[in-house]
Amino acid sequence: MANIKSAKKRINVIKKKTAINKSRKSALKTAEKRFNEALEAKNLELAQEKLSYTEKKLMQAAAKGTIHKKAASRKASRLAKRLNASTAE
């Protein structure tokens, strides 16, 4: 346990930031799960909506520094690729 006042404060700040990041990542996973469910149900219109929502959440998380910008772009690209592949079928 930290003895110095500034170190104690940093511990509290880190706890808050960890909770926020955990919440954001959970929201991302949920959004991606909803997109996958819509895609598996062959509901392409709903999947398109869920894709745009998921992309928005990915970019917001990247802007806040929760995930890396390129990781967010890569995930969004892969999801769009899956949607386009299912549309072509």
Can you give the pLDDT at residue 52? Answer: 97
CATH number, domain with residue 44: 1.20.58.110
Tell me if 32 is assigned to some domain.
Answer: yes
Tell me if 82 is assigned to some domain.
Answer: yes
Tell me if 14 is assigned to some domain.
Answer: no
Q: Domain of residue 64: give its range.
A: 23-88
Tell me if 27 is assigned to some domain.
Answer: yes
SS3 per residue for the chain: CCCCHHHHHHHHHHHHHHHHHHHHHHHHHHHHHHHHHHHHCCCHHHHHHHHHHHHHHHHHHHHHCCCCHHHHHHHHHHHHHHHHHHHHC
Residues of the chain with pLDDT under 70: none
Tell me if 66 is assigned to some domain.
Answer: yes
What total of structural domains would you count in the chain?
1
Note the pTM of the prediction, 2 decimals. 0.87
Tell me if 59 is assigned to some domain.
Answer: yes
